[in-house]
Structure 1
Amino acid sequence: MAQNQAAWLTGASVHPFRVQDAPYPTAGPGEVVIQNAAVAINPVDWKIQSYGIFITEFPSILGEDAAGVVVDVGPGVTRFTKGQRVLAYTHGLSTKNITQTSFQKYSVAAEAVTAAIPDSLSFEQASVLPLAVSTASAGLFQDDHLALPFPSVTPSKPTGKTLLVWGGASSVGAAAVQLAAAAGLNVISTASAHNHELVKSIGASAVFDYNSPTVVDDIASALASADVAGVYDAISLPSSFEPIKAILEKINAKVGIATVLPYSGESTAHFAPTSVHAASIVKEPHKKVSDAVWRDFVTKALENGHLKAKPDPEVVGKGLGDIQKAVDLLKKGVSAKKLVVTL
């Protein structure tokens, strides 16, 4: 049997990760085992390590984004076979399911949040998508969130509705822009000025600079005559809460606001009752949404260009020993890219 290793978090707020042997995972019902070729880093990774949040039992393993090759399939798996190239959302966050995390050589992933990747897509590119797709789709499509129509791999009939995505150059924001556009919505978004063309290239009809002193008035004007379906806040910090609130007040719109979970402790309570939380890294989308997005959309959309692996990956290390370096780099901040480590 192959030997597994992982970058272990050995205690609350302990730095650095410790690379050592890990249990070799077994695929249970509806699961696959993946030999990871590339893993991506997310803000929640450095926040868990720095703030000591979420994880209560140690040692543990982090990581939510995986791309690699299927090496085993569990009972009931029908969509994947050994040797397939896939991307997967690995979401375990406790010692009870450390095999379902990506900072290790071999990971378990649920078939429901795994998708085959075309030969034209590298593992590094594919690894930027899993958490972003799951988080965006939960907020956009679940009945208890914005409940938008599902995306289509063929051009969707316009719904006549407009969605505001705050933070369209972030990984979650880029996924939200693309999924909403593929569902037939008109999408307007925000990004730094140098990222406007990127966000337009993935489906936004208009992009506004969130640093502009007139951003509230500019977006309110753009939405004044629109049928607003809601807001997806991919940033979910006071810097996004306040302008979104001001925009909706200006246009007198009472709509749902999907927010990612506020990992750094900021409260979204002042949005109630219109605010709804996107089910983020601690919970995969509901089955109906997983089927519509992961089973029916992701692979075909990657093949025909309706879904792009954005923002671009930036490989900053090779091997589990470089996971800590990558997490530290992300903590310092990045713009319109996602940090990746190859394994």
Structure 2
Amino acid sequence: MGAGWAAGVTRARALRTRCLGAEGIRDVASSHTLEDALRYLAATPYRHDVSAAATPAEAQRAVSATLLWHLRVLAGWQPATGADAIRALASGFEISNTRHQLRYFSAVGPSPASAGAPAFDTGRLPPYHLGALATAWTRLARTRTPSELRATLAASVWGDPGGDTPAAVATGMRVSAALRLATAVPDAARWAAARLALLFGREVFVVGRRLPDVSVRRAARLLGPRAVGAGSYADFRHALPATARWLLDDVDEAADLWRAEARWWDAVERDGRELLRRSDFGPQPVVGAVALLSVDAWRIRGALELADRGGGPGDWWVEVLDAPR
């Protein structure tokens, strides 16, 4: 690692100041109304996309859009390998855009618009502007049917999701994203494996939905064939590799998997702080900065939800973030 990383790491450390932090998040969560919370955010680094008249969904999406903007700025300062790492870490935004694309198809059917024009829902929640962090969104945005969207995914780095239903596409993309993250960003491999274990456990043992075979095969590359082939949640949990098992250590029942969500984010925050403290000029501080920015945005979204309910106490994350969704 060397001079090529100097500017990127410096920028990563500077962006740490864009986080609201625990005290600011508590202030948002303790607001008595959503409007009060949004007025508070209007004086913070999240002010750019926040509107005082926003609905809860719009406000949460504005927070995510601010995170995405920070990641795009950060990626612009990185050497190629650093930009690739941020792109892998930001894959959830492209997944979100694609899910909305499928919802649009379900709502209106095949688009009658002329070829080449984006078919995304033009309602109140526009697609995220991915810029250089996109992998296949430019092509996905121009698809007209679920089958066309699936074919476009299959021809991209995402790979075939194994179906064109919203569930198959969303799950297939998440599995693919976890595998790519573990491969492209070794410092995030533990996060990727644990998150995939949580996804697989929910889909199979809570929802009762069998993943498409192609997604099962991809998941096996991180979780192991014994885990993905398990017939019960207990067998699944015990067969997981150490990189994923830590998240579910004391989650004895599949119905309690929701408790692992906040634990995953807490681990990402701890690891992110450690990575950001690294003194070398390399990818670790950059990955750490992305982790901390992402955790901050996730907690603010939860705090906005609590504010919309009338505000909460200091342990607000127990009420909001450690609750089934």
Q: TM-score, normalised by structure 2?
A: 0.32
**Structure number having the greater strand percentage:** 1
More helix per residue: 2
More RCO (CA 8 Å, sep 6+): 2
